[in-house]
Amino acid sequence: MSKLTHFNEQGRAKMVDVSDKSVTTRTAIAQSSIVVNETIHAQIAEGTNKKGDVFAVAQIAAVMAAKNTATIIPMCHPLPLTGVDVQFEWQIDEAASRYEIIIHATVKTKGVTGVEMEALTAASAAALTIYDMCKAAGKEMIIGPTMLIEKTGGKNGDFKRVDH
């Protein structure tokens, strides 16, 4: 088993030294979701939410969250992101009165460490922003699950979720 690199000689957590790693193109796609009620679905679809365009604000929040991941996740390296894209997709089962928004966040960089945390943070921030903007119309919304769907680049190679 290889030596863990996240601890110093005193057994305390440290930010891993990545200065000797190769620069590669790295991508990550994360997904989250939020289940909303019929009223919230109608507000988002019709653009009648009193706080504004829910998806536009959630998209901006996701991009800002990706760019600021290192400020809220203690051991993350600050990264120069080269791209952040967020997409929203409705999954509706009207018979069951289930309205779910699937959020996909794709983050890219050219660097020495991956962008999985940035993608996960972006997807999470989008879901939390939707909750915040819609909570007046119902607080029973359910966020999650949140997961890494795919990542490319780096020493450990590519990853693609098989149960997705």
The residues that are catalytic are 132
Cα torsion 148, 85, 114, 158: sign: positive
> Long-range contact list for 39-46, CB < 8 A, 24+ apart?
39/137, 39/138, 40/99, 40/134, 40/137, 40/138, 40/141, 41/90, 41/92, 41/99, 43/134, 43/137, 44/101, 44/130, 44/134, 45/90
Q: Hunting for tokens 């997807």 — which residue is that? A: 123
Can you say how many angstroms the Cα of residue 128 is from the centroid of all Cα atoms in its chain?
10
Written as six digits, the tokens of 114 are: 């991956």
Cβ proximity of 89 and 101 under 8 Å: yes
